[in-house]
A = this chain, B = another copy of it.
Amino acid sequence: MNETIKLLKNHRSVRLFEDRALSAEQIEAIVTSAQSAATSSFIQAYSIIGVTDQQKKDKLAELTGGQEYVAKNGHFFVFCADLFRHELIGEIEGKEVLPSLESTEKFMVALIDTALAAQNAAIAAESMGLGICYIGGIRNNLEAVTELLKTPKRVIPLFGMTIGYPMQENDKKQRLPYEHVYHENEYNQDLASYKEQLSIYDEFISDYYNKRTNGKRSDTWSSQMAQMLEKQTRMYMKEFVNKQGFDLK
A92 in contact with B36 given A8-B124, A238-B103, A249-B238 (CB within 8 Å) = no
Nearest to A40 among chain B residues (CB) is: B136
- Out of B9, B128, B249, name the residue touching A32 (CB < 8 Å): B9
For residue A1, which residues in chain B have a CB less than 8 angstroms away from its CB? 29
- The answer to whether B5 touches A124 (Cβ under 8 A) is yes
- The answer to whether B11 touches A36 (Cβ under 8 A) is yes
Which residues of chain A from 191 to 236 have a CB within 8 Å of any chain B CB? 194-195, 198, 221-235
For residue A86, which residues in chain B have a CB less than 8 angstroms away from its CB? 225, 229
Nearest to A99 among chain B residues (CB) is: B232
Nearest to A48 among chain B residues (CB) is: B182
- The answer to whether B128 touches A235 (Cβ under 8 A) is no
Q: Does A237 contact B (CB under 8 A)?
A: yes
Contact residues on A (Cβ < 8 Å of other chain), bracket: 35 or more
A151 in contact with B42 given A35-B175, A116-B118 (CB within 8 Å) = no
- Out of B42, B120, B132, B136, name the residue touching A119 (CB < 8 Å): B120
Q: Which of A4, A52, A134, A238 has the most CB of B within 10 A?
A: A4
Q: Does A22 contact B (CB under 8 A)?
A: no
A-B contact pairs, 17 of them (CB 8 A): A5-B127, A8-B124, A31-B178, A35-B181, A49-B185, A50-B185, A51-B184, A85-B180, A89-B198, A93-B223, A96-B230, A99-B235, A101-B229, A108-B139, A112-B114, A149-B186, A151-B187
Which residues of A are at the interface with B, using a C-beta cutoff of 8 A? 1-5, 7-11, 13, 28-29, 31-33, 35-44, 46-53, 56, 80, 85-86, 88-90, 92-97, 99-101, 103-106, 108-109, 111-112, 114-116, 118-120, 122-124, 127-128, 132-134, 136, 139, 148-152, 155, 158-159, 173, 175-176, 178, 180-187, 189, 194-195, 198, 221-235, 237-238, 241, 248-249
